Structure 1
Amino acid sequence: MVSSQRIPSFTDLYINQRPANIGNPQLQAERARQVEGAIKYTSNHIIAQAGYFYRTITDFIDWTRSQSTEPWQPQNMDNNEVQGFNVNFRVNLNALDSNTKYYATMGYSYLHPKINDNTAENNVSKYAIESLRNQINLNFTISHMAWSLTTANRFNERLSYKSYFISDLRFAHQLDKLNLYVDAQNLFNVKYIEAGAVPMPGTWYTLGAKYTIGY
């Protein structure tokens, strides 16, 4: 079992953005406990892993309000429970001595959050209902010598928001210790929201370089 603590942030305590948000200097720190277990299988071509976890948080901090005309304010809730499981596979689709290599990675995770609060039955939560419920990842990489092409795809379903599918692409070239790459994020220009009603960017591109320094 693992235990941890999260103290309130400066924003949680003292923000003053009336009429939208106000802080709460009376907040107490969150305290969490978590247990988890996993199994793993490894061979020359397959790596498979499955795991389950359960976490409970006392004095959970969430932004709430009882009426739409009131500002959002963080409060210590009674208890937040989250349980879930995940399954991941990595498959090597080629011979180990091949110059051209193919890799596929697949993953699925499920979360079941639950808030138990007897102190504010009429309060509306700002963030708690935005947690992920289902997520599926599917990545594929092809590499030849110093060149590689990777596509990353994910399906997300949140508790209170429509599901959406995002695809990214990376083309890279390795020059000794220097890695040059071009990224294309959100290839299909999907309109979606991660959390807090903030729209995420559409399609965008990145050109970058990484240099490895040895010690």
Structure 2
Amino acid sequence: MSIEDEDNYWTEMTVNFRDIFNEFFPIKIAKKYADKEQQIIKAETLLKETFEEFEKRLKLRDENPELNPDELGESLFFIYSIGGINKASNLRPVMGRREEEPSEDAQKILELISKGSELGIHTILWLEDMKGFAKLSNNNRQWLGNFDLRVGLTMSGDNSRLLLGESFAEKLPRLRAYFKDDSLSIDLDKFKPYAVPSTTEMLEYKNNFKQRSQ
């Protein structure tokens, strides 16, 4: 999970989430600058570790084509919150031999997006707007096709058409969103997003998990 360095509220929430649910599944938190006191690593380090696991599973599957994704390792959810590309210099396009191309870290994310799910590594990507995705993918819209599940809050008509196939998100009221499952031929589903859970609520969820496992 990668979070903005200056946003203390989100840092506190994600640290609480990790501390509460870490007994059920391992959780690592990363942000722009590491924080040893809170056991937070750099975002680039988490991306590197995730990609190394991806390469390890890819090699294992190539050597054993009959293996199922769950036999390659436990399901891994890579949550990467970027915001604006201007805040992540390692993801900005770089100059290639003839023209701009995705940076090394951007290429890693794109590989995780396109091939990770078949290896049990699932990427959840959050961006401030679709311009950020265009820069990340060097204006290659085909990469968007790797996201069957998409959520959009209020945005411009152009961004809405690119993400959801319709301009409807342009007229969304506050605290509403659209959900699109690209694998199904159904209309967009409008919903009210959940609020960020409080520590008390997360502790209640923890107790529910414990009761289910007994």
TM-based fold match above 0.5: no
TM-score (norm 2): 0.26
With CA pairs under 8 Å and 6+ residues apart, which has the higher RCO, 1 or 2?
Answer: 2
**Structure possessing the higher radius of gyration over alpha carbons:** 1
Q: Tell me which protein shows more strand as a share of its residues.
A: 1
